[in-house]
Each structure stands twice: as C-alpha cells, then as structure tokens.
C-alpha cells in the first residue's frame, strides 16, 4: 500500500493534507504512528466525518521514505485520480 505514495499523486504535511481532505480530494490518508496526535486530530476528525480511509504507518521516518523524501512526515494524503471530461 505504501508503494502508492511513490507513484501516485499525493500531498505531504499537515497543512496541505488538511486542505486536500477538506476539498474532497483525498482517497486515503496515512498517519505516522509517532506523530503528535494533537496535530493529526483535525485531519482525523474530517476523515471520519467524510468516510475517508486512514492507514497508520510505523513512524514519520517510514512515511517520509515511502513518499520519496529525505525527512520524516507526520501525514500524507493519496489524492483521488482526476478524470478529464472532454466535450
């Protein structure tokens, strides 16, 4: 499942993730198990309200590596694939 974060569209970080979830662009949200729960609470509440799947990852280091970045990440959002409508 984490391999999706390397190949598909995503956002990383608390602020960008919350924006994506609120905008209805999130397919799945990944939380790092060692991230500050207070930071993740607003995103978690929005996900539960909207029925968005949440996946827990061992640590911020593992999540950052899965996203292809060299630093840890508290949260990452796998974005829905956008469809283009041609008329």
The predicted-structure confidence for 23-70, as pLDDT tens digits, reads as follows 999 999 999 999 999 999 999 999 999 999 999 999 999 999 999 999
Question: Which pTM does this prediction carry?
Answer: 0.90
For the chain, how many residues are written? 87
Question: For position 87, what pLDDT does the model report?
Answer: 58
pLDDT digits (tens, 9 = 90+) for 2-25: 888 888 999 999 999 999 999 999
- Backbone φ and ψ of 55, nearest 5°: -120, 130
Count of alpha carbons within 13 angstroms of residue 73, beta-carbon side? 26
pLDDT at site 1: 75
């Amino acid at each position: 499942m984490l391999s999706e974060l390397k190949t598909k569209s995503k956002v990383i970080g608390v602020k960008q993730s919350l924006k994506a979830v609120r905008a209805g662009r999130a397919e799945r949200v990944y939380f790092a198990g060692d991230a500050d729960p207070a930071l993740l609470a607003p995103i978690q509440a929005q996900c539960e309200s909207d029925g968005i799947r949440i996946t827990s990852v061992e640590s911020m280091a593992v999540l950052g590596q899965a996203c292809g970045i060299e630093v840890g990440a508290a949260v990452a959002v796998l974005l829905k694939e956008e469809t283009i409508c041609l008329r």
